[in-house]
Amino acid sequence: MITFFAAFLVSLLVALALTWIVRERALAWGWLDQTSSSRKVHVRPVPRLGGIGIVGGFFAPLCALFLVDSGVGVQFLAQTDLIVGLFVGGAVIAALGLYDDLKGAGAKLKFSVQFAVALSLYALGFRIEVLANPFGAELSLGLLSLPLTVVWVVGVINALNLIDGLDGLAGGVAFFGVGTHFLLALMRGDVLLCLLMAALAGAILGFLVFNFNPASIFMGDTGSMFLGFVLAAVSIKTSSKSGTAVALLVPVMALGLPIMDTLLAMVRRSLLGRPMFSADKEHIHHRLMSRLLLTHRTTVLVLYALCSLFMVTALGLHFANSVQSALLLSGVGVVIVVLMRKLGYLDMRHAGSVQQTRQRNQQLRTLVKAVTGAVRAAGSLQDVWNAVRPLAQGLDAAQQELRLRRPQEQDTEGVVFEARRPEAGTSSPLEVSVEVKDGEVLLGTLRLCWRDGRSTIDRDEELALEVVADAVAERTVQLVALEAAEPERIIALRR
């Protein structure tokens, strides 16, 4: 226990120090998470990259095992595949998250790296080879071991990433998962799992000191993806054959909230025809705030309570017989159904409009794809405007305006493009503006006005405008760079 406490204390202190340093540097260098996107819940810019503190805090006591002669250290150093998997895989996932926080990474890059890391883990021996069956014998997976292991690793990484929407939420959810693993490992005498979970718990708590509402720093993808990776990898590798059922059953229950939220998001977006990797404000924490009118902090505490229920259930399943397991799962199922009804996920009154919404979203996706493609091919700011103009007709807007200026012209109005559609209505106007930004630099605004009597636009149209604005910003920066290039370095290409 002394070794576990020492690992916890070292990781806690390192995470505290690193998170504070990163927060101060982020404030000084402008590495802030802005509030310009409608997806954001916070109302002021907040430093990001706090995940660096979690990563450093977790690895600090493990690196110390290379230098300190101890019984636990001997066991740890003997596990070469565990060391390589955690250190190399963790470093790759953390680097991916860091790149995404600083530069932005697309879904293709993220999933390519995540699948590569998951396949590498499988090659190192991180494998799910049987499935838990609370009501009978375990099920051997055979050839399905590889795909299920990969899906588990990638799924948990992204589940933690998706749940990171409120101050302290992702860290708290991960802490409950860590606590479940630690208690079960302690009862089984699994020293290495206890050590790893103690180190991760200290790193999480050190970060939460700065991240609990109101947060002064966010973990970013660096932290959320790293937490998901460690929980996914450790839950597989450190379970003995007799506890292999725990390798999936306990994480599924202990991480029940992010897994449930991820599955709901996938079903919701599939039914409504939305891009699978698009952001929305229909996650469980969003609905708790909007439908039950809970405050930011109260919402997080309610979700902590839900996580504790999943944690107790996971611990209970470890010791329960078939009848007791059935009762536990049934009880949790009832709680989930009641929660889903309260949050409106099971409201069948709007089922008839689902197909209509799906068709509308498919048309909207086609429009956005065509507009962004034309924007990226534009050869001038005038061409950018011509590419954007179909938005007005596609969204049935009465007026559309695009204001653009070069980054060095922040004190000027820049160039203004405007188009009107008198046939689109004469009711009271509804105006929506989206900032066109390159990182923290404001390049202009995209504004649409409706006069068809609506009082708001739906979430899908709002997201579509943000995607178009991002494409306009990207192309504007490229065109400005071309203008600044020396004439002799520009070569005309002819067919």
Q: Strand locations in 3-129, DSSP E? A: 32-33, 46-47
Residue 106's region, left for phi above 0, alpha for psi from -120 to 50, else beta, is beta
Tell me the C-alpha to C-alpha distance, in Å, between residue 395 and each of 361, 391, 457, 459.
11, 6, 10, 13
Tokens (6 digits) for 462: 């709002």
Residue 310 lies in a domain: yes
Same domain, yes or no: 252 and 144: yes
Instruction: Report the binding-site residues for Mg(2+).
Output: 161, 221
For residue 189, pLDDT over 60 is answered with: yes
Residue 357 lies in a domain: no
For residue 423, pLDDT over 50 is answered with: yes
Cβ contact 185:267 at 8 Å: no
Residue-wise pLDDT for 294-328, tens only, equals 998 999 999 999 999 998 988 887 777 777 777 88
Residue-wise pLDDT for 124-174, tens only, equals 988 888 776 655 666 777 888 899 999 999 999 999 998 988 889 999 999
Element housing 450 (H / E): strand 441-450
pLDDT band of 11, cuts 50, 70, 90:
very high
pLDDT top residue among 277 and 328: 328
Average pLDDT over residues 48-77: 84
Residue 291: name the closest of 347, 253, 248, 355 by CA.
347
Cβ contact 279:39 at 8 Å: yes
For residue 235, pLDDT over 90 is answered with: no
Average pLDDT over residues 189-196: 85
- In terms of residue numbers, what domain contains 463? 362-488
Model pLDDT, residue 485 = 61
> How remote is the C-alpha of 133 from its chain's centroid?
30
Same domain, yes or no: 281 and 374: no
Single residue among 277, 312, 342 that ends a domain in this structure: 342
Average pLDDT over residues 368-381: 92
Model pLDDT, residue 494 = 41
Q: How many domains does the chain have?
A: 2
Tokens (6 digits) for 277: 């990797």
Same domain, yes or no: 377 and 326: no
pLDDT band of 240, cuts 50, 70, 90:
very low
Lowest mean pLDDT among 12-21, 27-36, 271-280: 27-36
Residue 353 lies in a domain: no
Average pLDDT over residues 201-212: 95
Give the integer Cα–Cα distance in Å for 264 and 267: 5
Residue-wise pLDDT for 86-109, tens only, equals 899 999 999 999 999 888 888 889
Model pLDDT, residue 30 = 74
Single residue among 313, 342, 371 that ends a domain in this structure: 342
Model pLDDT, residue 411 = 61
Model pLDDT, residue 247 = 44
Cβ contact 55:98 at 8 Å: no
Residue-wise pLDDT for 31-54, tens only, equals 777 655 545 554 467 888 899 999
Instruction: Report the binding-site residues.
Output: 161, 221
Average pLDDT over residues 61-80: 77
What phi and psi values does residue 443 have, to the nearest 5 degrees? Answer: -100, -10
Residue 224 lies in a domain: yes
Same domain, yes or no: 67 and 192: yes
Kindly report the average pLDDT of the chain as a whole number. 84
Average pLDDT over residues 104-127: 91
Model pLDDT, residue 207 = 96
Across the beta sheet with 415-420, the strand order is 415-420, 399-404, 441-450, 430-438
For residue 472, pLDDT over 80 is answered with: yes
What phi and psi values does residue 193 have, to the nearest 5 degrees? Answer: -65, -40
Same domain, yes or no: 376 and 481: yes
Same domain, yes or no: 439 and 310: no
Average pLDDT over residues 232-257: 65
Lowest mean pLDDT among 110-124, 176-190, 311-325: 311-325
Lowest mean pLDDT among 169-183, 210-224, 433-447: 433-447
Average pLDDT over residues 326-355: 83
Same domain, yes or no: 72 and 104: yes
Give the integer Cα–Cα distance in Å for 431 and 251: 46
Model pLDDT, residue 241 = 42
DSSP 87: I
